[in-house]
Structure 1
Amino acid sequence: MATFAVTGSASGMGAASAATLSAAGHTVIGVDLRDADILADLGTAEGRERAAEEILARCGGTLDGVAAIAGVGPNLPDAAAVMSINYFGTVRLLERLRPALAASGAGRAVVIGSNAASTVPIIDDDLVELALAGKEQAARERARAAAEAMPAEVRAMVPSISAYASSKFALIRWVRRTAVTPAWARQGVLLNGIAPGAVLTPLMLGATGDAADYDPDGFPTPMPLGVFGRPEDIAFWVQQFLRPEARFTTGAILYVDGGTDAAMRPDAQPTAMTP
């Protein structure tokens, strides 16, 4: 049996993933702000370091996989915190744990992006580049400024929508860039991402309302299957990416969104390489 670290393990997709892995007989080290093995705020440098140190202590320096699921939604008022948690919290922790994943001989890491990265037309390119350059303070300042510049009616509904979509866009781009570098690929550490759509989690409900009021056919984005996702739908794919048999997949981004992205961008993937 394997040892996995799961961030965001107290609720939603993180809780479902932790439960799925535990049910399969694996050891799960949960990380969250509450109700977890390790209590840490991944939105801060101190919290990330604490989480990394405690994970490494619990796994003895050898870790089979990480499911980096912790994140916040566009309803969070502070756009800077959205960037720190969603992007830097995930990236910095994974960078810190990479040697332990390599030590296992078949390390696996999966991150949770969002189909908002490709279906919300307010990606802030400058914010994305600041994130990818590792400039957290500058990214925080940019995120706050961009949020303040949004129309008042948008801020009232989803105050951090640009930071949210941009943080997930940057995270998925980081996965694609990083997964194929020698420090990851040639060390046998596979890195992949999942882009969920409308999944009924506390994060989604906090942004858009009460589940009882939901109508898939009246949702702002297309819902081809006519149903919303459940946390268990994401947990299934988290488990697949963490399996040792998933030995020939890295740098992949899997949309688990009921077909929303395909409905909105049917010709976007694949994209042919241009000369």
Structure 2
Amino acid sequence: MSRTYVITGAASGIGRSTAELLTERGNRVIGVDIHNADVNVDLSTAEGRTDLVTQVADASGGTIDAIIANAGLASPTVATVAVNFFGAVATLEGLRPLLSGSSAPRAVTTASMASLFPADKVLLDALLAGDEPAALARGAELADSPELSAQIYGTTKQALAKWVRRNAATEPWAGAGVPLNAIAPGVVATPMTADLTDSEEARKALLQQVPMPLNGIFEPRDVAYLLAWLSSEENAHLCGQVVFIDGGSDVVIRGDSTW
């Protein structure tokens, strides 16, 4: 049976591959991005997040079956703070009411294996408190520091993973029959990682930081298969899980730790 999916970040990379896969399987996809999508909005802004909900509600007729909050940035900038955490959370919370008419509602977001890296505590605390002005201010401070700016991306993804863990078992999600989960990809060959993988030397250096012993860097289609299952009718019981699809990075970095 055809389902209606909303995918943010649908114009490229993992989002585009997931949209293509789900469409090939006979589903309806409402793609969201800053451009070249069915719904064009800027998730770094409050206005864009509000427009997302309005336009998706209009396009869907008021009912959707799954949210895939995939949009994200990897640049060491304030915009990354706004999109990766606040944009993702606003997508999930804003579109959640549209799931109520589905017989099998699902929600999943894209974190990252970078969530395993040490976070900036000030930024992390502001994100988890939902304090966007404070988070953006700290993001600006980090962005101005060549030594610290690289922490922005991993911190936003760690905060997103923690948000999923903290909310998945609550009444609005599990209580409403909505499995809420996240994925944590390793290095995927997308436009976001192009500058980091454009030479053999660059790839080797990256894989020293992000060890991926199982088949190395992979294609976005591989991630799309996982997102498709997590957002399908078949996934009725995963709750608050952060599923690492990373070629083994999590295993290498954390060993036998289960969390």
Fold similarity call, TM over 0.5: yes
Tell me what 1:106 maps to: 104
Tell me what 1:115 maps to: 113
Preserved CA contact (<8 Å) 1:112 1:194: yes
SS at 1:183 equivalent: coil
Tell me what 1:273 maps to: none
Over residues 125-160 of structure 1, what are the superposed CA-to-partner deviations in whole Å (9 max), with x where a residue is unaligned? 221121111111110001111333443xxx7xxxx4
Preserved CA contact (<8 Å) 2:76 2:153: no
Structure 2 CA distance for aligned equivalents of residues 169 and 46 of structure 1: 25
Tell me what 1:178 maps to: 167
Tell me what 1:133 maps to: 129
Distance change (3 Å), C-alpha of 1:25 and 1:213 = farther
- Structure 1 ranges of 4+ moved more than 6 A: none
The equivalences for 1:22-101 within 5 A come to 22-73=23-74, 76-78=75-77, 80-101=78-99
Structure 2 CA distance for aligned equivalents of residues 216 and 186 of structure 1: 45
Preserved CA contact (<8 Å) 1:216 1:226: no
Instruction: Say what the alpha-carbon RMSD is for the aligned residues.
Output: 1.7
Structure 1 CA distance for aligned equivalents of residues 205 and 51 of structure 2: 44
1:191 is matched by which residue type in structure 2? L
**Gap regions ≥5 residues in structure 1:** 271-275
Superposition deviation, residue 227 in structure 1: 2.2
TM-score, length of structure 2 as denominator length: 0.94
Structure 2 CA distance for aligned equivalents of residues 226 and 191 of structure 1: 28
1:135 is matched by which residue type in structure 2? D
TM-score, length of structure 1 as denominator length: 0.89
Structure 1 CA distance for aligned equivalents of residues 21 and 152 of structure 2: 30
The equivalences for 1:145-224 within 5 A come to 145-151=141-147, 160-206=149-195, 208-210=196-198, 215=203, 219-220=207-208, 221-224=210-213
Over residues 27-73 of structure 1, what are the superposed CA-to-partner deviations in whole Å (9 max), with x where a residue is unaligned? 00000111110111111111111111111111121110011111010
Structure 1 CA distance for aligned equivalents of residues 203 and 157 of structure 2: 25
Superposition deviation, residue 105 in structure 1: 3.3
SS at 1:127 equivalent: helix
2:221 is matched by which residue type in structure 1? E
SS at 1:13 equivalent: helix
Structure 2 CA distance for aligned equivalents of residues 218 and 179 of structure 1: 32
- Identity level (%): 39
2:79 is matched by which residue type in structure 1? A
Structure 2 CA distance for aligned equivalents of residues 57 and 69 of structure 1: 21
Preserved CA contact (<8 Å) 1:22 1:28: yes
SS at 1:106 equivalent: coil
2:235 is matched by which residue type in structure 1? A
1:53 is matched by which residue type in structure 2? T
**Gap regions ≥5 residues in structure 2:** none
Preserved CA contact (<8 Å) 1:49 1:93: no
SS at 1:254 equivalent: strand
